[in-house]
Amino acid sequence: MVVIEGTASLNLVKEQLDESLSVAESSLEQYAEEPSNSRRLTQCIDQFRQLRGVMIVVNLHGAALLVEEMEALGEFILDNQDSDQEKPLAGLSNAIMVLSHYLEYVQVKQSTLPVLLIPTINEVRSLAKKPLIPESTFFRLASNPSRPSKETGEPADHVKLEEIGRRLRHMYQVGMLGVFKGEDTSPNVKLMRRALDRIDSLSGDVPMAKLWWLGQGVLAALENDGVEVTNSRKSLLGMIDRQIKATVLQAEVTLAKEAPDNVVREAVFVTSLADKLDGVVTEILTEFGVVENRMAGSEMQREQALMNGPSGSVIKSVVDAIKDELSHIKDSLDLGARGAHGDDEESFSRISEALIKIANTLLMLGLIDASTLLKEQAGYIVNWTSSADIDADSDEFNAVADALLYVENSIASLSPRMGGAQSVGGNEAEAVAKQGMSITQLEEARRLVVGESRAGLSLAKRALTSYMESNWDGMHLSNVPTTLNTVWGGLTFLQLERAANVMKSCGGFIHSRLINDRSNEPDEHLMETLADAITSIDYYLESIENNKPIGDGVLDVAEESMDELGFPSEAA
């Protein structure tokens, strides 16, 4: 059985999910226009119920929870039709849009990151009058270790802690109030850290001291610009304040308690968002084993903006329009370089204006470097007055050509690479441009190679079928090893090493076992096993061709088939 793991399973049902979301959105809009027709909202809720089941099957737990909350909000609206429904309906509509963007994000980025849905989930829950869930809902700790031994400092003094505890708590609250108001974070956080540090020193080596330690990590993370002070993080600061209050009232009893598990998990999660790893942050993350594979707060903000940005169809339309405009500009410059451009000063002015418009669009798309470069080159072109100013061998003309290629590569990076890989980053676009290559042309070459490789596999499968139907007439196989060798070359070009190695093994098996060795006729089981290997590679290439990667599980099947035939796939 082929095991489809990770985000690859989403590709199999993405179209159906999009259709269900479209039906739900349409039903919701019809209900908003005609609130008396509750059947429309019921249809919308039914779609949510079906979507939730699919999300669970494809292991998109964040999406499953969001749809569950959307379903609950729909039921809440039905039960409260006499109240104002404008905000709940708007929230439900927004959740549908976010879910659609999230599914597209998962498909493109090949990463689920359910934490990105927490803000929308909480928005939906608040509209349904339900308590918010913590940001760490999808954050798992392998263990909950004790706090390491504290360095020697002020001796523990619980009596003194009760005496000055109110003042220390007031200090903490003053800083917290400043943070809540959105004032300058740094001095307010430092005030809170001073209070916590003093409370920690007077507490001594007690179970609750672990919370003061984690609180220092949270505050250190919030000092960074990359970690926003969200409502959930404000709530965490409030939880710490409540423990300080309990300590002030009953120091001995409170300090002997363990820090609540949910607060520990939330504190470690927020600490893990810190952009800078030093001091108490490093100590906490090392102790809890979350230094690796963490996502900094600034990175999470970028991913959130990416997910909430324009949909793929909108991006594609913009990219296509820019490509067309760039194509016209390149044609005009090419004519000028060959002396075929009219001596019209206004034509160069129009080219410059067109480049500036493209640069402004690139700025909106977040391609700042490409935008700056294009504006710079537009400034040179506007000073050209005739074709005589265009020297194809000049540094100035080559700089314009390089800029256009860089822009072309940059906008190509907005679309997912073949095979479901992540988009090409700005650095790679620049490196490719410096080599005089176009990512768009390179992607087209990859598509052609995939298509030719699949055509070669089709020829091989037809030849094997004829071989079986002709009672093992080897004449039908004479060209198959050569065909598979061609496919191997294509897969090697595509850097699909595992698939290429399987093809090499298939060619070797057919040449050695079916063509050269005629002593034993193959049986049907042997041929079916060979067909499994070839078909698996074809299926793998088809998923790449359609930009819906199925994952490596199908390659496992191909390799197991060749192992069974005695021609194991080995790395070159």
Query: How far is CA 335 from each of CA 329, 390, 400, rounded to the nearest angstrom?
Result: 10, 10, 14
What are 571's two structure tokens? 């790395």
Q: What is the pLDDT of residues 296-325, one digit of tens each?
A: 888 888 888 777 766 666 677 777 788 888
What are 92's two structure tokens? 């439900």
Helices and strands in the chain, H and E counts: 23, 0
Residue 303 included in any domain: no
Residue 140 included in any domain: no
Is the alpha carbon torsion for 191, 192, 195, 196 positive or negative? negative
* C-beta atoms surrounding 518 within 10 Å: 10
| Mean pLDDT, residues 104-133 | 87
CATH number, domain containing residue 259: 1.20.120
Same domain, 433 and 453: no
Helix (H, G, I), strand (E, B) or coil at 257: coil
Same domain, 287 and 164: yes
Distance, in Å, from the CA atom of 408 to the CA atom of 413, rounded to the nearest integer, reads: 9
> How many domains does one find in the chain?
4
User: Which ranges of 34-60 would DSSP assign to H, the alpha helix?
Assistant: 38-57
Residue 395 included in any domain: yes
Distance, in Å, from the CA atom of 83 to the CA atom of 266, rounded to the nearest integer, reads: 35
Lowest mean pLDDT among 114-118, 139-143, 338-342, 389-393: 338-342
Q: What is the pLDDT of residues 448-504, one digit of tens each?
A: 888 899 999 999 999 998 888 888 888 888 888 999 999 999 899 888 888 999 999
Residue 473 included in any domain: yes
Nearest to 553 by CA among 492, 498, 497, 490: 498
Question: Which of 296, 319, 344 is the endpoint of a domain?
Answer: 296
Same domain, 498 and 454: yes
Same domain, 104 and 170: no
Q: What pLDDT is attached to residue 5? A: 44
Same domain, 453 and 427: no
Torsion from C-alpha of 18, 24, 29, 33, nearest 10 degrees? 160
CATH number, domain containing residue 49: 1.20.120.160
Same domain, 518 and 450: yes
Residue 505 included in any domain: yes
Give a three-class secondary structure readout of 466-512: HHHHCCCCHHHHCCHHHHHHHHHHHHHHCCCHHHHHHHHHHHHHHHH
Same domain, 428 and 446: no
Distance, in Å, from the CA atom of 17 to the CA atom of 73, rounded to the nearest integer, reads: 20
Which residues, including other chains, have CB under 8 Å from residue 545's CB and lie 6 or more apart?
447, 450, 451, 454
Same domain, 393 and 278: no
- Structural domain for 265, as ranges: 158-296
Same domain, 367 and 348: yes
- pLDDT of 430 above 80: no
Distance, in Å, from the CA atom of 529 to the CA atom of 532, rounded to the nearest integer, reads: 5
pLDDT averaged over the chain? 82
Res. 108 pLDDT band, cuts 50 70 90: confident
Q: Is the pTM of this model over 0.75?
A: no
Residue 571 included in any domain: no
The DSSP code for 570 is -
**Percent of the chain surpassing pLDDT 70:** 85
Write the DSSP string, 70-136. Answer: HHHHHHHHHHTTTS--HHHHHHHHHHHHHHHHHHHHHHHHS---GGGGHHHHHHHHHHTT-PPPPGG
Distance, in Å, from the CA atom of 565 to the CA atom of 21, rounded to the nearest integer, reads: 46
Residue 341 included in any domain: yes
| Mean pLDDT, residues 205-230 | 87
Higher per-residue pLDDT: 393 or 187 = 187
Q: What pLDDT is attached to residue 422? A: 36
Give a three-class secondary structure readout of 327-340: HHHHHHHHHHHCCC
* C-beta atoms surrounding 42 within 10 Å: 15
User: Which ranges of 181-260 would DSSP assign to H, the alpha helix?
Assistant: 185-203, 209-222, 231-249, 251-255
Which residues, including other chains, have CB under 8 Å from residue 240's CB and lie 6 or more apart?
172, 196, 211, 215, 218, 263
Q: What is the pLDDT of residues 242-271, one digit of tens each?
A: 999 999 888 888 889 988 888 999 999 999
Same domain, 316 and 407: yes
Query: How far is CA 400 from each of CA 326, 338, 354, 407, rounded to the nearest angstrom?
Result: 12, 16, 14, 11
Res. 2 pLDDT band, cuts 50 70 90: very low
Question: Which of 437, 454, 485 is the endpoint of a domain?
Answer: 437
Same domain, 284 and 379: no
| Mean pLDDT, residues 79-104 | 88
Q: What pLDDT is attached to residue 297? A: 81
Res. 571 pLDDT band, cuts 50 70 90: low
Residue 265 included in any domain: yes
Question: Which of 296, 324, 357 is the endpoint of a domain?
Answer: 296
The DSSP code for 167 is H
* C-beta atoms surrounding 242 within 10 Å: 10
Distance, in Å, from the CA atom of 299 to the CA atom of 143, rounded to the nearest integer, reads: 25
Query: How far is CA 247 from each of CA 159, 163, 194, 258, rounded to the nearest angstrom?
Result: 11, 11, 17, 13
Q: What is the pLDDT of residues 369-428, one digit of tens each?
A: 888 888 888 887 777 766 555 666 677 777 887 788 788 777 776 654 333 333 344 444
Q: 359: exposed, middle or buried (C-beta count within 10 Å: 0-12, 13-18, 19+)?
A: buried
Helix (H, G, I), strand (E, B) or coil at 342: coil
Same domain, 479 and 552: yes
| Mean pLDDT, residues 282-286 | 90
Distance, in Å, from the CA atom of 550 to the CA atom of 2, rounded to the nearest integer, reads: 10
Lowest mean pLDDT among 28-37, 418-427, 504-513: 418-427
Nearest to 103 by CA among 67, 74, 70: 67
The DSSP code for 516 is I
| Mean pLDDT, residues 27-49 | 90
- pLDDT of 292 above 70: yes
Nearest to 98 by CA among 315, 311, 308: 308
